[in-house]
Amino acid sequence: MSLNSKGNRLGAGVFVAGRELVTVTGETLRVPEPGRLVHLQFRRFAGCPVCNLHLRSFVQRHDEIAGAGIREVVFFHSSAEELREHVAALPFAVVADPEKRCYTEFGVEAGRRALLDPRAWGPILRGVFRSLGQVLRRRAPLPKANPEGGRFGLPADFLIDDQGRMIASHYGEHVYDQWSVGELLTLAGTGRSPSVEIGG
């Protein structure tokens, strides 16, 4: 049964039913995961410049995140085939959800405010310039002109303990409104239940 078939927002204390997810590389993972916290990130489309800018900070501190007993799982609303060439260098799990089933289940939204909020304009420019440089140096492919799921997706973050309990959630008000690595580590440190064992 769907956790949230109506797309309502989810908060701390909600229990997430166990499930298996298949990543774009074919790996199967469990959520919740025994002995670990799971951080679900909901991003936009394959090659999204702002998403890439944000995920770069998580790549740079991946060892620190893993050392805190956190498994990163990142969703995109693009197909696995399209995502593979864009996310091959990421050191964490990436899940394709082109039909937005998990987006709906977790109440993740889309809206024009994703791009129209003035707080997003600086990160958008930084992301576009960085991605353009990567494309010109042939280090990354161009994203689609009309990506699956559109361009107005809003980010969302969920931290889940090994019993399936939601420790915390965050729904972005614009395209660059999400947890930083520091915020994630703080939440993991304060919200971990006694049953969670670090490592594994």
Residue among 66, 157, 70 nearest 107 (CA): 157
Q: Determine how many CB atoms are found less than 10 A away from the CB of residue 26.
A: 7
Does domain 19-191 fall under CATH 3.40.30.10? My reply is yes
Distance CA 123, CA 125 (A): 5
Question: What pTM was computed for the model?
Answer: 0.84
Distance CA 15, CA 64 (A): 26
Which parts of the chain register pLDDT below 70? 1-7, 129-147, 149, 191-200
- For 28-58, how does the pLDDT look when each residue is reduced to its tens digit (9 = 90+)? 999 999 999 999 999 998 888 888 889 999 9
